[in-house]
Amino acid sequence: MNLIERVVAISRRRSPWICRLNAGSCNGCDIEITPLLSPRYDAEQLGVELHGTPKHADIVLISGTLTLRSREAILDIYAQVPNPKAVVALGSCPASGNVFAGSPLVLSESLDSVVPVDVWVPGCPPRPQAILDGIARAAKLLEDGATKSQLQNWLGRLS
């Protein structure tokens, strides 16, 4: 790894820009993201910026049980995030469907079967510090080139 690649890798950890994707959440998880940017947790210390467009994001925070209608949207938005990218699943919903599991309107499968998830943040809703920790871990994975999408690209180049 030469010097510039090394600086770029470090920058990936120091400047994780996030965008949020509500895939059918009750809003409980989403509302816990707001305090991250407020004085108490101040995610900007870690270089976190919240962006509205997936084109500017490095990390997508996906919250909520996956509904039948949100599947396409998740795939579409995930595809718009430029590489390298990481996915953080917020709350119990993306993992299991949580209290909505079994409803005819939800997918009833884990988010991992739609897009590759790098970090799971459990809780219903998760605490803000847990979300921040999830972002920091995803940023570290981006630095190491170890997010699932980075590994897939790497494998794709090998074969």
For residue 153, how far is the Cα from the chain centroid?
18
- Footprint (CB under 8 A) of another protein, residues 20-59: 38-39, 42, 44-45, 47, 49, 51-53, 55-56, 58
Taken as a whole, the chain contains a residue count of: 159
- Footprint (CB under 6 A) of ligand SF4, residues 101-120: none
Per CB under 6 A, does 125 bind ligand SF4?
A: yes
- Footprint (CB under 8 A) of another protein, residues 49-108: 49, 51-53, 55-56, 58, 80, 82-84
Binding mask 19-58 for ligand SF4 (x = CB under 6 A): ------xx-xx-----------------------------
Per CB under 6 A, does 93 bind ligand SF4?
A: yes
Strands 86-90 and 119-121, how do they pair?
Answer: parallel
- DSSP labels, 77-106: HHHHSPSS-EEEEESSHHHH-GGGTT-TTB
Structure tokens at 34: 């707001």
**What amino acid is encoded at 154 in this protein?**
W
Q: Residue 26 carries which DSSP code?
A: -
Q: Which residues of this protein are in contact with another protein, per CB under 8 A?
A: 5, 7-12, 14-15, 38-39, 42, 44-45, 47, 49, 51-53, 55-56, 58, 80, 82-84
